[in-house]
């Protein structure tokens, strides 16, 4: 992983408001590796997610410190199903951008229109 890649941790919103919204172009959506002998799939692990899926993306709009960087987010499969490779999406972040609590596909693949959508998007 390069120094230009930022890893976000996933948590459910639990009523928390989004602090930062970023517009990303999704690069890849793939099932997460279950590790050696499948030990990463154990439900006893605190970080285990149902149907864990890794999403890589490039930040197009948001805080200047993130724009242009690659991001990696491991999230539950039901959330990852909202995203498609090559399309634009919004990520809702909290805690200074290290924690992602929601994702959504942008309604338009036009960057300007998606940016306008992002400004008014509320985490559902």
d(Cα 68, Cα 40) in Å, to the nearest integer? Answer: 31
pLDDT-derived band at 99, boundaries 50, 70, 90: very high
The residue segments making up the domain with residue 9 are 5-32+49-120
Residues 6+ apart with CB under 8 A from 47: none
Higher pLDDT, residue 1 or 90:
90
User: Worst-scoring range by mean pLDDT, 2-16, 53-67, 91-105?
Assistant: 2-16
Beta strands 20-31; 53-61: pairing state: antiparallel
107, part of any domain:
yes
42, part of any domain:
no
22-73 pLDDT per residue, tens:
999 999 999 986 554 445 444 444 456 778 999 999 999 999 999 999 999 9
19, part of any domain:
yes
CATH number of the domain at 75, please: 2.40.50
Instruction: Check pLDDT > 50 for residue 108.
Output: yes
78, part of any domain:
yes
Tell me the Cα Rg of the chain: 14
The domain tally of the chain equals: 1
d(Cα 48, Cα 9) in Å, to the nearest integer? Answer: 12
Over residues 70-86, mean pLDDT: 95
- Measured at the alpha carbon of residue 73, what is the angle toward residues 68 and 74, in degrees to the nearest 5? 165
89, part of any domain:
yes
What does the block give as tokens for 94? 């909290």
Q: Which residue's structure tokens are 């230009």?
A: 4
pLDDT of amino acid 84: 97
pLDDT-derived band at 2, boundaries 50, 70, 90: low
The distance from CA 18 to its chain's CA centroid, rounded to whole angstroms, is 13
* pTM value surpassing 0.75: yes
pLDDT of amino acid 124: 72
d(Cα 101, Cα 51) in Å, to the nearest integer? Answer: 17
């Amino acid at each position: 992983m390069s120094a230009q890649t930022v890893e976000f941790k996933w948590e459910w919103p639990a009523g928390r408001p989004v602090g930062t919204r970023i517009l990303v172009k999704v690069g890849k959506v793939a099932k997460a590796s279950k590790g050696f002998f499948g030990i990463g799939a154990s439900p006893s692990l605190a970080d285990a997610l149902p149907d864990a899926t890794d999403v890589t993306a490039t930040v197009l709009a948001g805080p200047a410190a993130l724009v242009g960087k690659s991001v990696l987010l491991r999230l539950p499969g039901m959330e990852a199903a909202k995203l498609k490779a090559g399309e634009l999406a919004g990520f809702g972040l909290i805690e200074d951008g290290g924690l992602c609590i929601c994702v959504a596909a942008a309604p338009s693949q036009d960057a300007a229109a998606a940016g306008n959508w992002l400004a008014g998007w509320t985490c559902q």
